[in-house]
């Protein structure tokens, strides 16, 4: 399966704006993959498919999550922002026959992160957060850090994300907290 094929498939299910975001994530992830000597093929597939389910209807997202990721998603079932990651991983497996767990996990955890992430997971996670059109406080710092220390970049990103979620009284996924604690422990 080629990246061009997956790009065409993606462009048929996403709006132009979201498709272009995915392409920027792909480019950012490949750059980081080169810097950190990652598996560029796995990184490319995960990056291009990470938001595949982003424009599915709410009911469809809830259906996929509750049928296929019941335990993991039951506390977050009203949070579509979290569910699209699971649904994208599900479609990668079912429609595109991707079996590689490193690719599937990089898609599945791209929104929340989690502890003990592989290099592929880390790269897709942070590429999504720092692609060139992302704008939020401290993104420049996180972008610069990502080029020299992936763990530090993710730690700063998740700290800022948690601050934002608290400020707006949004739910914080426990995977994000566990990722932060893990990064604090290993850095
Ligand atoms: Fe996403
Ligand atoms: Fe994304």
Q: How many CB atoms lie within 10 A of CB 99?
A: 9
- Each domain of the chain, given as residue ranges in start order, spans 3-136
Q: Scanning the structure block, which residue is given the tokens 């955890």?
A: 109
d(CA 54, CA 11): 12
- Fold classified for 3-136: Hypothetical protein af1432 (1.10.3210)
> How far away, in angstroms, is 21 Cα from ligand 2 center?
7
Nearest ligand to the C-alpha atom of residue 128 = 2
29-55 average pLDDT score: 98
d(CA 24, CA 128): 8
d(CA 171, CA 179): 16
pLDDT at 94 (0 to 100): 98
**H or E segment to which residue 57 belongs:** none
> How far away, in angstroms, is 37 Cα from ligand 2 center?
22
3-class DSSP assignment, residue 184: helix
Evaluate if residue 1 carries a pLDDT over 80: no
pLDDT at 19 (0 to 100): 98
How does residue 4 score in pLDDT terms, banded at 50, 70 and 90? very high
Nearest ligand to the C-alpha atom of residue 22 = 2
How does residue 187 score in pLDDT terms, banded at 50, 70 and 90? confident
pLDDT at 102 (0 to 100): 98
Measured between its terminal Cα atoms, the distance across the chain in Å is: 37
pLDDT in tens, 100-153: 999 999 999 999 999 999 999 999 999 999 999 999 999 999 999 999 999 999
């Amino acid at each position: 399966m080629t990246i061009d094929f997956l790009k065409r498939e993606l462009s048929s299910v996403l709006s132009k704006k979201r498709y272009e975001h995915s392409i920027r994530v792909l480019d950012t992830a490949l750059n980081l993959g080169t810097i950190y000597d990652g598996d560029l093929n796995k990184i490319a597939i995960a990056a291009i498919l990470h938001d595949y389910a982003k424009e599915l209807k709410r009911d469809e997202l809830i259906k996929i999550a509750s049928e296929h990721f019941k335990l993991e998603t039951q506390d977050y079932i009203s949070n579509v922002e979290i569910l699209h990651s699971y649904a994208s991983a599900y479609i990668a497996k079912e429609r595109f026959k991707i079996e590689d767990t490193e690719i599937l996990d990089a898609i599945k955890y791209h929104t929340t992160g989690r502890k003990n992430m592989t290099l592929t997971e880390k790269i897709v996670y942070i590429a999504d957060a720092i692609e060139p059109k992302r704008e939020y406080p401290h993104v420049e710092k996180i972008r610069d850090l990502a080029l020299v220390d992936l763990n530090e970049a993710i730690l700063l990103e998740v700290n800022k994300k948690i601050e934002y979620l608290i400020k707006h009284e949004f739910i914080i996924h426990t995977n994000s907290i566990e990722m932060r604690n893990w990064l604090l422990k290993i850095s």
